[in-house]
């Protein structure tokens, strides 16, 4: 099993002028990740916040991602050290952490992702990440500390105000611009008035450029300048696709009926 290499792989892609492209996964069936890897996505973001994925399901998706040669990250439910450790132990390449509003919160998340003496992550080789052996443990610790990514989601006015301080935290190389909850915090109807978050987006992007760090953002909106793009949940895409198929079928039926 290869050592962790998420940060190195993403940086290499961006250095070549490529824009990493990923997708949210919430299906329990790891076949979803098989499909996304085969389709050519660079990574999956396994949804443990709004999706149904628990530790066991995440591990199956991680195995599928590794088999398909892509990266796997997990959006966790909360900024809790045990959740961060758990997802890294089952082999995820990093965690996306919701509602990071301050540098101290970001620093706590990074500490939970690093082994001592750099952090407070519990040590255990008896897991997928540790290969169930102490052989090569020193190399594993080094590779994990260097590559396990902690991705804060900036989804409040307070987070945007503190974005420069969050980006200054050692171990934070990438932040996610979260327009959904940010719009709620700003009392904006995202589906109708999403353009009113443009100033927050520019603030985030400019702060990242100044800090020499990266921004991830949802695809399909107005954030294409992001370094990394993330597609909406695969079950939403399924709903959209089959909804379109049904609508087309009904329209064809109606047209045929009108000709009779």
Helix axis angle for 55-68 and 81-89, nearest 10°, is 40
Tokens matching residue 68: 């398909």
pLDDT, tens digit, for every residue of 11-53?
Answer: 999 999 999 999 999 999 999 999 999 999 999 999 999 999 9
Task: Read off φ and ψ for residue 183, nearest 5 degrees.
Answer: -65, -40
pLDDT, tens digit, for every residue of 117-169?
Answer: 999 999 999 999 999 999 999 999 999 999 999 999 999 999 999 999 999 99
What percentage of the chain exceeds 90 in pLDDT?
A: 92
Assign domain 6-234 to a CATH class: alpha beta
DSSP class of 164: H
pLDDT of 195 reads 83
pLDDT, tens digit, for every residue of 153-211?
Answer: 999 999 999 999 999 999 999 999 999 999 999 999 988 888 889 999 999 999 999 99
Which sequence positions are flagged as catalytic? 50
**What pairs with residue 24 in β-bridges?**
45
Q: Which residues of 110-127 are buried (b: 16+ CB within 10 A; e: fewer)?
A: bbbbbbeeebbbeeeeee
74 close to 92: Cβ distance less than 8 angstroms: yes
* 210 vs 212: CA distance, rounded Å: 6
Nearest to 227 by CA among 54, 42, 57: 42
Alpha helices by DSSP H, 41-162: 55-68, 81-89, 103-113, 137-147, 157-161
Nearest to 50 by CA among 83, 75, 72: 75
Angle at 46 between CA 41 and CA 50, to 5 degrees: 130
Q: 134 CB contacts (<8 Å, ≥6 apart)?
A: 125
Residue matched to tokens 């996505």: 41
Q: Is the pLDDT of residue 60 over 90?
A: yes
């Amino acid at each position: 099993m290869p050592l962790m290499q998420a940060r190195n792989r993403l940086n290499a892609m961006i250095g070549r002028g490529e824009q990493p492209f990923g997708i949210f996964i919430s299906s329990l069936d790891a076949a979803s990740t098989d499909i996304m890897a085969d389709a050519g996505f660079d990574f999956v973001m396994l949804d443990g916040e709004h999706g149904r994925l628990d530790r066991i399901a995440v591990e199956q998706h991680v195995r599928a991602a590794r088999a398909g040669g892509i990266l796997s990250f997990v959006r966790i439910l909360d900024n809790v050290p045990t959740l961060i450790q758990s997802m890294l132990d089952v082999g995820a390449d990093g965690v996306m952490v919701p509602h990071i509003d301050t540098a101290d919160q970001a620093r706590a998340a990074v500490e939970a992702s690093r082994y001592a003496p750099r952090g407070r992550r519990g040590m255990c080789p008896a897991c997928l990440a540790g290969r169930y052996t102490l052989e090569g443990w020193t190399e594993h610790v080094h590779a994990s500390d260097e590559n396990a990514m902690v991705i804060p989601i900036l989804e409040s006015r307070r987070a945007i105000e503190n974005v420069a301080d969050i980006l200054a935290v050692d171990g934070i190389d990438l932040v996610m611009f979260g327009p959904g909850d940010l719009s709620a915090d700003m009392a904006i109807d995202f589906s109708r008035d999403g353009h009113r978050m443009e100033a927050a987006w520019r603030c985030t992007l400019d702060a990242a450029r100044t800090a020499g760090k990266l921004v991830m953002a949802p695809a399909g909106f107005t954030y294409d300048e992001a370094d990394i793009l993330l597609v909406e949940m695969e079950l939403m895409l399924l709903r959209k696709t089959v909804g379109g198929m049904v609508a087309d079928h009904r329209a064809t039926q109606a047209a045929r009926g009108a000709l009779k």
